[in-house]
A and B are shown apart, each in its own frame.
Chain A
Amino acid sequence: DTGVSQDPRHKITKRGQNVTFRCDPISEHNRLYWYRQTLGQGPEFLTYFQNEAQLEKSRLLSDRFSAERPKGSFSTLEIQRTEQGDSAMYLCASSSTSGANVLTFGAGSRLTVL
């Protein structure tokens, strides 16, 4: 297992365009999380899945953001009608439900909205 994979690593887009990020978690992990990180800040929780069920969404998450995890494997995070304020690093993490919530993060997908 190569860990948590995210694609693309970098995305530059124009304001108003839609973007989609993909996350492949560690295969035996049934929990998957999306976080957003901006410069000088810690990761900010966006949403998380247990298997295919989306169990929680942050109240800060605009309705322009949507996440899916079909079949409980990979996940996608789509941002519609991007705004300059969406520019950030989008981090995906996974964990198992047994024991503590030890998060294994991917390297992130950096979004720049021009």
Chain B
Amino acid sequence: QQQVKQSPQSLIVQKGGISIINCAYENTAFDYFPWYQQFPGKGPALLIAIRPDVSEKKEGRFTISFNKSAKQFSLHIMDSQPGDSATYFCAASMTYAGKSTFGDGTTLTVKP
């Protein structure tokens, strides 16, 4: 059962452009929604996260938008840079339950 669906599978953006990655979840018990960034040969690393009591969170060039009623959340990368080229995973978890459920990832390529 795929509880977190992520799109698109791949994304190509010009330097300076905006990258947008979307995720949808099914389980309304999820209460923590992180995004992870993964470079080749490395494990995923936490980029930014949000809880459902807020609709938006911004950290530098990275913003999460959260729509609780639609059960969707998205990652926006402003002023995308070649160094942002990586695979991005959304995830969802229930804090008391421990485990996180991940989307299938989006491979972002930022062209110079």
Contacts and interface: CB of A to CB of B under 8 A. Distances in A.
Contacts of A105: 36, 43-45
Contact of B98 (A41, A42, A48): A48
A114 interface: no
Nearest to B90: A42
A101 B105 contact: no
Interface string B28-55: 0000101010000111111001010000
Interface of A: 4, 31, 33, 35, 40-45, 48, 50, 55-56, 91, 93, 100-108
B105 A42 contact: yes
A90 to B, nearest CB: 11
Contacts, number: 68
A45 B99 contact: yes
12 contacts: A42-B89, A45-B101, A48-B99, A56-B98, A93-B43, A100-B95, A101-B32, A103-B44, A104-B46, A105-B44, A106-B43, A107-B42
A4 B46 CA distance: 14
Given A43-B102, A56-B99, 16 more contacts: A4-B43, A40-B104, A40-B105, A42-B4, A45-B101, A56-B97, A91-B43, A100-B51, A101-B93, A103-B44, A103-B46, A104-B46, A105-B44, A105-B45, A106-B43, A108-B42
B6 A42 contact: yes
A77 B103 CA distance: 24
A78 B52 CA distance: 37
B80 to A, nearest CB: 21
Contact of A100 (B9, B32, B43, B99): B32
Given A42-B105, A43-B102, A50-B98, A102 B89 contact: no
